[in-house]
């Protein structure tokens, strides 16, 4: 009989903790909807007790997503568990409370300052309390890969007795190796008497570049849930890239037994692009599976081989993960109904007012390029809806630049129906534009990151600009903008960051949680 492998996506929780990867509610919901189309089994939507924003995100995703289990993270603290349960209420029987508690000697001695007996008691009480709210409880012994194996065995047995349905074994700091992790999982399978009552999960970080190898070793040892993120985003060196694990299991099925999963692999590339756009964390060109060069062949020998037989230099079909699948592009002559239909096909759930806003922007973009591709349209959605909800809007932009001209920009902004205009010089056109915006908005930031990516192919492709700006707030603000003119896209991106910074000041600040995370 085949074994089911469950995939648990934590892009919206662990992935978002990556500096510069912050997402707002609309962006998180967009990612969650795509995860549903991908066939993800569990979506960890956030850490409800950490802030009102995280609580709202978990609650909204629990209400809107119908096919996936929705998880909320909590420490072994009643207040955390209660917050998670409240946020997850709309998910009903699909709700999962995910509790974590450190178990390694290092963490117990220097962070928690508690003995093993106290850890066992807290773990059992936390799981038992969570079971009063939901039937599906997952427990994670933080820093499990550096935990004494005999004690880890006791912890796992204890939490299963208390009602845990999934026990996750995290390699919290990316320290373990494949052989060692295999032995840990096999030891638990063979020495925990009640292990048959729970699913063993693994959650690997990539500090030594071994997250995928460790996850696959765990599957071989008997783990049946893999946790990670799309594109491998996350704290430090990131989490395991789920798309790599999924395709390794599919491509080398004979190495892992008769395992199956629920993933629609043709949605992988689209999911990767949506996560990159929503998080502002771009994918490197050479990234496995989803990088632009993943199926590119420049060597003449390789090209000849591919033309004769794809398998000579490709171990998987690029169309199987979503490369090459495209719709006929729209043009400036396409009507509102056609645009709305394509938006729905792409998974954008918009109100009629939002469709109107996007359509107006679409017509303007259509005037400046021959075809509007699906990726262009997604960039237009992101850019337009940021602008429509912003405090400041771009009215017009003029700039002068050149090798023998001093870069100068004049910017016009709108706010509450009023027009504002100012000019500035700078070290290049983008710098001049940013300084003009800062003069108008009276909000100065430090540019920490700037990137430009083409949304689609062709010299008239929309340029997507992502900026990371430090306004003196807890974390840098991500701003995004799109236009066929890169300078205009830069202005839109920086203005988007300014608006987000203003909104951030009016939101309650996250709680100061010092208990760590898996």
Instruction: Cite the annotated binding site by residue number.
Output: 14, 203, 205, 239
Torsion angle (degrees, nearest 10) of CA 212, 217, 220, 223: -80
Tokens of 184: 């840990």
Of 19, 102, 108, 11, nearest to 57 (Cα)?
Answer: 11
Rounded Cα distance, 449 and 476, in Å: 9
Of 30, 62, 207, nearest to 11 (Cα)?
Answer: 30
DSSP codes, 36-86: HHHT-SEEEEE-GGG-HHHHHHHHHHHHH--SSEEEEEEESSHHHHHHHHH
Of 236, 254, 250, nearest to 289 (Cα)?
Answer: 250
* Beta carbons within 8 Å of 359's beta carbon, 6+ residues apart: 336, 339, 340
Rounded Cα distance, 338 and 366, in Å: 14
Helix (H) or strand (E) holding 409: strand 405-415
Quickly count: other Cβ atoms within 10 Å of residue 310's Cβ.
Answer: 14
Report the alpha-carbon angle 46-5-274, nearest 5.
Answer: 45
Of 315, 444, 398, 381, nearest to 33 (Cα)?
Answer: 381
Rounded Cα distance, 189 and 266, in Å: 33
- What DSSP state is assigned to residue 11? T
CB 249 within 8 Å of CB 259 = yes
Binding residues for Mn(2+): 14, 203, 205, 239
Rounded Cα distance, 226 and 200, in Å: 9
Rounded Cα distance, 25 and 23, in Å: 7
- What are the respective helix, strand and coil percentages of the chain, to the nearest 5? 45, 20, 30
């Amino acid at each position: 009989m085949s074994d089911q492998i469950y995939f648990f996506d934590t892009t919206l929780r662990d992935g978002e903790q990556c500096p510069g990867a912050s997402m707002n509610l609309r962006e998180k919901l967009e990612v969650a909807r795509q995860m549903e189309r991908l066939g993800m089994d569990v979506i960890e939507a956030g850490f409800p007790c950490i802030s009102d924003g995280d609580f709202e995100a978990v609650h909204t995703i629990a209400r809107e997503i119908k096919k996936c289990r929705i998880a909320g993270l909590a420490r072994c603290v009643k207040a955390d568990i209660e917050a998670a349960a409240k946020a997850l209420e709309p998910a009903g029987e699909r709700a999962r409370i995910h509790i974590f508690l450190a178990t390694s000697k290092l963490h117990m001695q220097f962070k928690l300052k508690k003995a093993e007996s106290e850890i066992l008691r807290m773990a059992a009480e936390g799981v038992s309390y969570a079971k009063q709210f939901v039937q599906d409880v997952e427990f994670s012994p933080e820093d499990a890969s550096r935990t004494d194996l005999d004690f880890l065995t006791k912890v796992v047995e204890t939490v299963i007795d208390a009602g845990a349905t999934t026990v996750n074994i995290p390699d919290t700091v990316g320290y373990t190796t494949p052989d060692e992790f295999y032995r840990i999982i096999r030891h638990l399978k063979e020495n925990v008497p009640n292990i048959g009552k729970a699913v063993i999960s693994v959650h690997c970080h990539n500090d030594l570049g071994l997250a995928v190898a460790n996850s696959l070793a765990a599957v071989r040892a008997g783990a049946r849930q893999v946790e990670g993120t799309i594109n491998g985003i996350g704290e430090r060196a990131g989490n395991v890239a789920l798309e790599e694990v999924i395709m390794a299991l599919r491509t080398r099925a004979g190495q892992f037994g008769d395992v199956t999963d629920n993933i629609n692999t043709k949605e992988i590339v689209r999911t990767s692009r949506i996560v990159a756009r929503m998080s502002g964390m771009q994918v490197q060109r050479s990234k496995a599976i989803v990088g632009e060069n993943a199926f590119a062949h420049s060597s003449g020998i390789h090209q000849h081989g591919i033309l004769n037989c794809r398998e000579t230099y490709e171990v998987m079909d690029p169309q199987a993960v979503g490369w090459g699948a495209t719709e006929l592009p729209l043009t400036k002559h396409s009507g509102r109904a056609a645009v709305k239909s394509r938006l729905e096909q792409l998974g954008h759930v918009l109100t009629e007012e939002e469709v109107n806003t996007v359509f107006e922007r679409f017509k303007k973009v259509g005037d400046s390029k021959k075809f509007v591709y699906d990726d262009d349209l997604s960039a237009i959605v992101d850019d337009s809806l940021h602008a429509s909800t912003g405090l400041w809007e771009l009215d017009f932009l003029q700039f002068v630049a050149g090798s023998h001209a001093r870069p100068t920009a004049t910017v016009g902004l709108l706010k509450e129906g009023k027009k504002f205009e100012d000019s500035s010089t700078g070290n290049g056109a983008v710098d001049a534009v940013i300084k003009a915006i800062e003069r108008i908005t009276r909000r100065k930031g430090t540019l920490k990151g700037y990137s430009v990516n083409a949304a689609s192919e062709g010299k008239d492709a929309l340029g997507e600009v992502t900026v990371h700006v430090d306004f003196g707030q807890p974390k840098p603000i991500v701003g995004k903008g799109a236009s066929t003119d890169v300078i205009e896209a830069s202005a839109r991106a920086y203005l988007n960051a300014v608006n987000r910074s203003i909104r951030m000041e009016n939101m309650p600040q996250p709680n100061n949680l010092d208990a760590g995370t898996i």
